[in-house]
């Protein structure tokens, strides 16, 4: 992907996370909630636009009901939850998503790119949090030095498959 597309994906990720940025609780829980709300809300917006486009072409509601099955439970949001969200961030994220889908070639998976970006950022953050400061800066305090030299799998003579 081009650099401008990568920047737009990062902007979309930031906009999605801003949906629940003021919620209390863990960061990962807020991010999961934000992604879930974004997907549901985007689905509802896109389905409404699809129906409006077909109505503009002169398709009747009866014909729409025959060909497009819309179950509101897939994108319904609890009113109490919706009142706690950041509506500006929600609208911005849907707009950015639509712009990305329009800018990329057909069958590009924008949502998967966003989820991948979120996963890689979370993995990077966990890697830096999981290693104590002393083990990064001082080789004498590393785990390998505290427990003696490590034995490699190929040095073990009792391996059943050899």
In a domain, 138, yes or no: no
Please determine, for residue 7, whether its predicted confidence score (pLDDT) is greater than 70: yes
Q: Which range of residues forms the domain containing residue 71? A: 3-131
pLDDT bracket for residue 130 (50, 70, 90): low
> What average pLDDT does the segment 80-89 reach?
90
Q: Where are the beta strands (DSSP E) in the chain?
A: none
162 assigned to some structural domain: no
Cβ 133 vs Cβ 59: under 8 Å: no
List all residues 6 or more positions away from 41 whose beta carbon is below 8 Å from its beta carbon. Answer: 75, 77, 90, 94
- Would you state the pLDDT for residue 135? 45
Residues near 145 by Cβ (< 8 Å), separated by ≥ 6?
139
pLDDT at 85: 92
As given in the structure block, the two tokens for residue 123 are 């993995």
- Is 72 part of a structural domain of the chain? yes
- Residues whose CB is less than 8 angstroms from the CB of residue 6 and which lie 6 or more positions away in sequence, other chains included: none
Instruction: Give a yes or no: residue 141 inside a domain.
Output: no
Does 80 reside within a domain? Answer: yes
| pLDDT of the residue at 19 | 93
Where does the pLDDT of residue 108 fall: very low under 50, low under 70, confident under 90, or very high at 90 and above? confident
State yes or no: pLDDT of 54 exceeds 80.
yes
CA–CA gap between residue 74 and residue 41 (Å, rounded): 10
pTM over 0.75: no
Neighbours of 69 (CB within 10 A): 7
Domains of the chain: total: 1
Q: Is residue 137 part of a domain?
A: no
100 lies in a domain? yes
SS3 of the chain: helix, strand, coil, percent, to 5: 70, 0, 30
Is residue 147 in some structural domain?
A: no
């Amino acid at each position: 992907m081009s650099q401008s597309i990568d920047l737009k994906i990062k902007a979309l990720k930031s906009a999605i996370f801003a949906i629940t940025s003021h919620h209390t609780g863990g960061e990962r829980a807020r991010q999961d909630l934000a992604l879930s709300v974004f997907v549901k809300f985007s689905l509802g917006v896109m389905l409404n636009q699809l129906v409006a486009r077909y109505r503009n072409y002169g398709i009747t509601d009866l014909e729409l009901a025959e060909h497009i099955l819309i179950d509101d439970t897939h994108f319904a949001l609890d009113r109490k939850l919706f009142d706690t969200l950041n509506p500006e961030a929600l609208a911005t994220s849907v707009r950015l998503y639509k712009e990305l889908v329009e800018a990329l070639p057909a069958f590009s998976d924008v949502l998967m790119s966003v989820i991948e970006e979120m996963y890689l950022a979370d993995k990077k953050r966990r890697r830096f949090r999981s290693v104590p400061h002393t083990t990064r800066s001082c080789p004498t305090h590393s785990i390998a030095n505290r427990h003696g030299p490590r034995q490699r799998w190929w040095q073990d003579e009792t391996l059943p498959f050899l």
